Amino acid sequence: MEETQKITPRSQDYSEWYLDVIREADLAEPAKVVKGCMVIKPHGYAIWEKIQAQLDRMFKAQEVQNAYFPLFIPMSFLQKEAEHVEGFSPELAVVTHGGGEKLEEPYVVRPTSETIIGHFFAKWIKSHADLPLLINQWANVVRWELRTRMFLRTTEFLWQEGHTAHATHEDAMAFARRILDLYAEFAEGWMAMPVVKGIKTTSEKFAGAATSMSIEAMMQDGKALQSGTSHDLGQNFGKAFGIQFQNDRGESEFVWQTSWGVSTRLVGGLIMTHSDDNGLVLPPRLAPIQAVIVPIYKKEEERALVVETCARLKDRLAAAGVAVRLDDRQGKRPGDKFYEWERKGVPLRLEIGPRDLDKGHVSAKERVDAERSFIPFDRIEDEVRSKLDRFQSHLFEKALALRKANTLVLDQWKDFLEAFKDGESRFVLAHWDGTAETEALIKEETKVTIRCVPLPGQGFDSEPGACIRTGRPSKQRVLFAKSY
Amino acid sequence: MEETQKITPRSQDYSEWYLDVIREADLAEPAKVVKGCMVIKPHGYAIWEKIQAQLDRMFKAQEVQNAYFPLFIPMSFLQKEAEHVEGFSPELAVVTHGGGEKLEEPYVVRPTSETIIGHFFAKWIKSHADLPLLINQWANVVRWELRTRMFLRTTEFLWQEGHTAHATHEDAMAFARRILDLYAEFAEGWMAMPVVKGIKTTSEKFAGAATSMSIEAMMQDGKALQSGTSHDLGQNFGKAFGIQFQNDRGESEFVWQTSWGVSTRLVGGLIMTHSDDNGLVLPPRLAPIQAVIVPIYKKEEERALVVETCARLKDRLAAAGVAVRLDDRQGKRPGDKFYEWERKGVPLRLEIGPRDLDKGHVSAKERVDAERSFIPFDRIEDEVRSKLDRFQSHLFEKALALRKANTLVLDQWKDFLEAFKDGESRFVLAHWDGTAETEALIKEETKVTIRCVPLPGQGFDSEPGACIRTGRPSKQRVLFAKSY
């Protein structure tokens, strides 16, 4: 529907490139008439549906059940948890009128649902037999953001928010950690986006949480994208909303809770991780169209035979579970079709012309880093599936290699400054003295934040050392980067 | 999580019965702290997910694409279509503050999205090649309702809203009609709920539509439930939002549009159509759990063997695509389990005790109108599937028989009054003179409304006649009923 325009190269202007890729792949557009909001167009929404479907399967395998809670939350609910209201107050959209009358108590449009869900958990939970209670909600939320960027930060966004209640702190922490692992598995296995799992510092944690964990991914410009969070809420909301249960000794106790979420921000992460100067690149497991078949012919009499073969191969691939599209539009040249599907990020292009018919094969080309290859008709299902699998792995390996090449272990402040000079970003593993003051100082001086304290066993473990900024003692290296 | 309470018999208090069924099946509860809203609990949400999944498949088969538009709509957008703003003004929730500041122009929380989508259609549509544009959105909407009832009418509800644009009025009307047929196919084939397809009168049509069509179902109390609507919007929104395209003669024309929707109200229709005084009854095609297996044993030494057989049969049924649950909870008596699953509407119960093991069969019982039967282990997959299919048909036939028994063809006003006396309702096919005055008079005198003018070919066709109230000429019989 839109006219084709140029994509700004990444090297020239990364932010423009990102917006250009979104526009040219027809994923979304800024709403403009509604501040900071966007319209998610069909191709963008189809990616989100793929993300939802897989995550939903993974949550259900953990015995999590979906439910739905009201969009509106009484203002007084937010005020019950002191840190929570302080954190979210500046970002609230407020409904003051309903049905033509001023409301007695204003409602906020949910920025997140710990409070309203806490209210219902207090009604539902009576004994330890009701625990754990594992709930997830797919919903829209609103946070009044000053600076927005499509998918990455919008006033309204779509997400899932998991909310669970447990009988012990150990149980709650183990569950929050299990979800963090699940997010990492999804990011790496489906999005082909390597992530670092870690603990957020106090100043970066969720307002109301005891501990926040996140997965952090490196975008192609070296900046970090916080891609999912999983919080140990302790008993903070349990106490604020009186969520109590009788333990097996008959005593009344407050529950221990977790909450965790990922959002349409993941689509932004997907775009920024893999796409190139020719447009969108999608990993096959999340591509709404995994393979496109383009018939090639010059004369009209060639057309029928070529298209018929294409249609037969399309049916075979569809029957084999491949999301395949036959682009038999007339009046559009093959080159224009290639260009369109390239920009839309289709992982695999299959071409068939009269000469291919004679040879009984299809010409195949992956979206990036590929030479043309040929697949005999009789092996089409297996070969296409294995090409898609290899392409999925290739994208992950490529992103991992980029991250490795841009991750530095530094001990000198001047090297730190050098790593982040001129608006650049990298992942820097450096020692930090553990104080909020030093963290704030570094942020003020360099715009660099501590993305997380990496969890052990990911290859980022370190000995104690001296803070890169103050020289004071540090327990372990933490992950520094500029971020979205 | 809730204590078990009695279900009020339908004969005693139908409204109470409805609320009791919802509570005892743990489908939802009133939010109370948020006016007119409800919490959809896991079992209720699982039914909605089944509804969504099937409708989404049906829409996609019609080449409809999903997208997502902003929750907020500038107030001025609603005012662009005169009838639309008049119809929706009394029901709006208004956001006046965002991020701590008063907004220059207030936003309404979408009550429906014709206006905001019209704004974007005007940007996206340029030529006839862009048409038809077929978009659907799964979303929450808010309408400030004075009287609410769980699922049937809530301030916030979940729905899908389809919005399409076409080059000709014929195309648009044909599409609106195709969706109406699709809704009817879903209602009858999946919900086992017979419906009448028809055209709404002018006073009952959607605010801003040229013509509204609906499917109307009879609930067990004889009242009608409008269960889905499909609107021919004419060029009303096209003109209001300047949605123009170049036709193939190079002339600029306004598009012709449709919109159509079903909502979580369908869950209410499902409950009211099939459930009984023992609780929820679900048609197998929409049941989150289609069959439950309950092991029966008295001595602990019997337990292992019985449960092991149950688990094996469960795996076989799951592999055959049956949504099956094994209820091997200890410390709960079989009778209590039967009672719980009955209230939750599980279509088929399978029991296995030590004697069944000896005989190599399962004892089976459908949720309603069934004698106990026995299924040999080696035929479990086929027999369970065919029992579920028969149960699906049985529920439809039963609902259809109820509707037939409660549908009257009347010509005398005194018979009409008799049919609707004492708060009763039926479906009455009677002549109407076609005027809004007579329609309003009948509504005022009897609380009965014209549900629709039935479309031809459904068994409700009629000759012209004389209006049942005024005696003036009438083109055809229309469908009268009290309604939800």
Domains A14-274 and A289-385 share a fold: no
- Shortest distance between the Cα of A263 and any Cα of chain B, in A, equals 14
What six digits make up the tokens of B383? Answer: 């027999």
- Shortest distance between the Cα of A422 and any Cα of chain B, in A, equals 32
Q: CB neighbours of A293 closer than 8 A, spacing ≥ 6?
A: A310, A313, A314, A324, A325, A326, A327, A350, A351, A352, A362
The per-residue pLDDT for B300 is 85
Range A83-94 burial, b when 16+ CB lie within 10 A, else e = ebbebbbebbbb
Q: What is the pLDDT of residues A354-383, one digit of tens each?
A: 999 999 999 999 999 888 999 999 999 999
Closest chain B residue to the Cα of A66, Cα to Cα: B42
Closest to A200 measured CA to CA, from A281, A132, A290, A260: A260
Whether A99 and B90 lie within 8 Å, measured CB to CB: yes
Across residues A87-107, what is the average pLDDT? 95
- In a mutational test of the A interface, the residue from B23, B72, B336 whose CB has the highest number of chain A CBs within 10 Å is B72
The per-residue pLDDT for A3 is 62
**pLDDT of A332 strictly over 50:** yes
Closest to B136 measured CA to CA, from B58, B213, B192: B58
The per-residue pLDDT for A161 is 98
Q: CB-CB: which of A34, A74, A92 is closest to B33?
A: A74
Fill in the amino acid letter for B264. Answer: T
The per-residue pLDDT for A1 is 45
What size, in residues, is chain A? 484
Whether A72 and B156 lie within 8 Å, measured CB to CB: yes
Annotated domain spans of chain A: 14-274, 289-385, 407-481
- Shortest distance between the Cα of B107 and any Cα of chain A, in A, equals 8
Whether A65 and B49 lie within 8 Å, measured CB to CB: no
The per-residue pLDDT for A300 is 85
CB B55 within 8 A of CB A94: no
Please report the number of interchain residue pairs, chain A to chain B, with beta-carbon separation below 8 angstroms.
Answer: 162
pLDDT per residue of chain B (484 residues) written in tens, 0 to 9: 446 789 999 999 999 999 999 999 999 999 999 999 999 999 999 999 999 999 999 999 999 999 999 999 999 999 999 999 999 999 999 999 999 999 999 999 999 999 999 999 999 999 999 999 999 999 999 999 989 999 999 999 999 999 999 999 999 999 999 999 999 999 999 999 999 999 999 999 999 999 999 999 999 999 999 999 999 999 999 999 999 999 989 999 999 999 999 999 999 999 999 999 999 999 999 999 999 999 999 888 899 999 999 999 999 999 999 999 999 999 899 999 999 999 999 999 999 999 999 999 999 999 998 889 999 999 999 999 999 999 999 999 999 999 999 999 999 999 999 999 999 999 999 999 999 999 999 999 999 999 999 999 999 999 999 999 999 999 999 999 999 9
Question: Does the structural domain A289-385 have CATH classification 1.20.140.10?
Answer: no
What six digits make up the tokens of B51? Answer: 């509804």
Q: Name chain B contacts of A70, Cβ cutoff 8 Å.
A: 31, 34, 37-39, 156
The per-residue pLDDT for B45 is 98
Question: Does the structural domain A407-481 have CATH classification 3.30.110.30?
Answer: yes
Identify the CATH number of the domain defined by range A14-274. Answer: 3.30.930.10
The per-residue pLDDT for B211 is 97
Domain made up of B291-387: CATH architecture: 3-Layer(aba) Sandwich (3.40)
CB A228 within 8 A of CB A215: yes
Across residues A169-196, what is the average pLDDT? 98
From residue A331, give the alpha-carbon distance in Å to each of A300, A337, A338. 12, 11, 14
CA–CA dist A395, A26 (Å, integer): 22
